[in-house]
Amino acid sequence: MKPQPSHPESGLPALVTEALETVNCIQMVLSKPINKKATARRKVTLRPVMIRDKQHYQLAFTRGQQEVHENLLPCETIQRVEQLWADLFQEGYLFTREADYHFQKTKQGTVQLKKHAPTKAQPVKVEAHNRTKQYLIPEGVPCRFLEEIGVMTQSGKVKSSQYRKFRQINRYLEFINDIVAALPETDVLRITDFGCGKSYLTFATHHFFTSILQREVSITGLDLKRSVVEHCQQIAENLACRGLTFQTGDISTYQSQEGECDLSISLHACDTATDAALASALEANASVIMAVPCCQNEIYQQINSPSAEGLLKHGILKEKTAALVTDALRAQILEIFGYRTQVIEFIETQHTPKNLLIKAVKRPAPLSESELREAVQEYQSLKTQFGIPAFALERTLGDRFRELSQSSGKESAG
């Protein structure tokens, strides 16, 4: 087939941008990096999703050993795809209801486009993040713990003032549901919730495993405030929550009586308390770690990058950059310790500004020497790039981190 019309700047075929703009795209894949050594993105996949009743596209790609997702509006998606195509990739696949298209760059500087019969003729089910009927805890069905914490009435109706909390709980349970396969299938599930606060998500976790999955659990909610712990313990007793207890204690000094842990949760533990929770999870050899960080102040005080001076001179941008760098360092350390990590949106930003979730699942086998070396190098490069001399999680892990760094041939300087 002869080369087809292309976008004048990026070389992206016009029908590709039209498919994205009209939401005729079922799926798209960009692959075959122009420079395999220079790019960390070997492949980018794209699919349509609905978020807050608005059409979006979700881009998914791998950065090192970490899977990253981005949700963009159609106009933003077109700009991003044009940039990726122009700078990083030389081959792509577009799947529509009418046909499949394969496009690739040629040595002559043109784009060759081939049309094939559709292999995804039936449109994929567009994921809707806000359909009540898909909630794990449905509206209209009485739920005792939601009634107890004031979210629902006895008849199962969600109170108007509590609908955001109801939605957040269900969104959270979707993430929990996603990692069930990574948890042990037998015995009692051991779960720790660091910095549990008022614990409505702790109760949601208990409800999900015991009422929905019919699993036996041993859940410990930990918080510094005695009054909060006593209140939560009273609710647990009122609900007769078997296997759920609350303790007053500091995350940094907490030691589980059960030793190892299956699922470690830390939601909105402030600043370095998140690092203490992650260190405790690693010490307990948790199968799955889920953390929603909060108030990342440590890196804000240190971050210094001459190449990003134009970004860091603005206070609000420096704060956001420091938060992102902090979470990237945390995720990379988890990779070094043998976890497959994702940093994804937790809940919509209109509900809370703390909307990133670090999800880490223990790999079945340790990293190979080359994988460990690459993971450590990525971590050190990130610290160097942003002028970070020391990092709380690295310090907290102490000898354990140094031993891994040394075994990779690249000892930490933090």
Least confident of 3-7, 24-28, 234-238, 253-257: 3-7
Separation in Å, CA 312 to CA 291, 295, 309, 321: 26, 17, 5, 8
- pLDDT of 361 reads 96
**Among 264, 290, 248, CA closest to 190:** 264
Tokens of 138: 């449905």
Of the candidates 51, 52, 45, 8, the residue with the CA atom closest to the CA atom of residue 25: 45
Mean pLDDT, rounded, for 120-127: 51
Determine contact, residues 400/282, Cβ cutoff 8 Å.
yes
Structure tokens that stand for 37 in this block: 């050594």
What's the CA gap between 315 and 370, in Å, rounded?
39
On whether the CB atoms of residues 361 and 337 are closer than 8 A, the answer is no
100-103 own/partner pairs: CB under 8 Å, 24+ apart? 101/13, 101/15, 101/16, 103/4, 103/13, 103/16
Chain centroid offset of residue 86 CA: 27
Predicted confidence (pLDDT) per residue in 295-318, tens digit: 777 888 888 888 888 888 998 999
For the ranges 8-22, 46-60, 338-352, the one whose mean pLDDT is highest: 46-60
Q: What is the mean pLDDT of residues 333-351?
A: 81
pLDDT of residue 405: 83
End-to-end CA distance of the chain: 56
- Identify the architecture of domain 132-407 in CATH: 3-Layer(aba) Sandwich (3.40)
Question: What is the spatial distance between Cα 339 and Cα 70, in angstroms, rounded to a whole number?
Answer: 21
- Both tokens assigned to 402: 């140094």
What pLDDT band is residue 161 in, cutting at 50, 70 and 90? Answer: confident
Inter-CA distances, 19 with 48, 74, 99, 319, 361, Å: 11, 10, 11, 37, 35
Read off the tokens for 280: 């405790």
Question: How crowded is residue 206: how many other Cβ atoms within 10 Å of its Cβ?
Answer: 23
pTM for this entry: 0.67
Q: What are phi and psi of 263, to 5 degrees?
A: -135, 125
pLDDT band at 276 (very low <50, low <70, confident <90, very high): very high
For the chain, what percent of residues have pLDDT higher than 90? Answer: 40
348 vs 86: which has the higher pLDDT:
86
Give the model's pLDDT for residue 7. 42
> pLDDT band at 345, cuts 50/70/90?
confident
Residue 124, pLDDT score:
42
Q: Note the pLDDT tens digit of each residue in 187-210.
A: 899 999 999 988 999 999 999 999
Nearest to 150, CA basis, from 132, 174, 135, 166: 166
Would you state the pLDDT for residue 277?
93
Q: Where are the chain's structural domains?
A: 14-127, 132-407
Contact by Cβ (8 Å): 158, 141: no
